[in-house]
Structure 1
Amino acid sequence: MVLLASDPGHYHPTSSRDINTKSNRGSNPFQKMTREQFEKWLDSVDSDRDGYISRNDLYAALASLGLHFKTWKAWRAMKRCDENHNHLIDPGLERKKLIDYAQKRWGIIVTN
């Protein structure tokens, strides 16, 4: 018996191998990290180490998490978080928006 997060409080008679279905395979849901760990993770995917995150950097970050639809997710995050439309996530406010976006859309849980 496994308690599925999508249906809280209800048990479903499934084995652990049934959990890895096509819909969630490789999506690596609910990565848990502190805000500091998330910042370090973003820095680690910043290919030119300038503090700005490009769409290609986001793609690499999503690939490292094993998420599906990486191209679309990176494009969408840029559209939502890049306020000055320079095609980069700037340090500061835009990076904070990216953290909030990652929590809502990528299943990353950022703790304080």
Structure 2
Amino acid sequence: MAIIKITSNPPHRGPSDGKVEVSEQEFKKWLKKFDVDGDGRISAEELREAIRAKGGWFSKWKAKRGVKTADKDRNGVIDDDEIGNLVEFAKKHLGLRVISSDR
């Protein structure tokens, strides 16, 4: 199982590439902080705020792209069944590194 990790403290950096290492469980927990309406799903605006909080550039574009990429049922939000798709997007576009759970 792949995992990723984001904390409110300074992020853990990878050995040489500077990417943040996060577990999937921690990524979900971190994202839930931005679920303003408490519906258990992440909207493009909530994802934008998460990206901005992380210090990311082009947060509006990345948020729209992230939801479009991860939202397989096209309802405009990311739910628990689609979070893995958002993890893949985060690995490619948000500077995260997925680390294996057997470390």
TM-score of Structure 1 vs Structure 2, range by shorter chain? 0.7 to 0.9
Following the alignment from structure 1 to structure 2, what is the Cα–Cα distance between the partners of residues 49 and 31? 26
Structure number with higher relative contact order (C-alpha < 8 Å, ≥ 6 residues apart): 2
Pick from 18, 26, 37 the counterpart of residue 37 of structure 1.
Answer: 26
Return the index of the structure with the highest Cα Rg: 1
Alignment correspondent of 1:102: 90
| Displacement after TM superposition at 1:110 (Å) | 2.9
Alignment correspondent of 1:88: 77
Alignment correspondent of 1:68: 57
CA RMSD after TM alignment: 1.5
Structure 1 portions without partners, runs of 5+: 6-28
Report the TM-score when normalising by structure 2.
0.75
Report the TM-score when normalising by structure 1.
0.69
Aligned residues: 85
Following the alignment from structure 1 to structure 2, what is the Cα–Cα distance between the partners of residues 45 and 109? 21
Alignment correspondent of 1:78: 67
Structure 1 runs, 4 residues or longer, greater than 2 Å off: none
Following the alignment from structure 1 to structure 2, what is the Cα–Cα distance between the partners of residues 102 and 76? 11
Structure 2 portions without partners, runs of 5+: 1-15
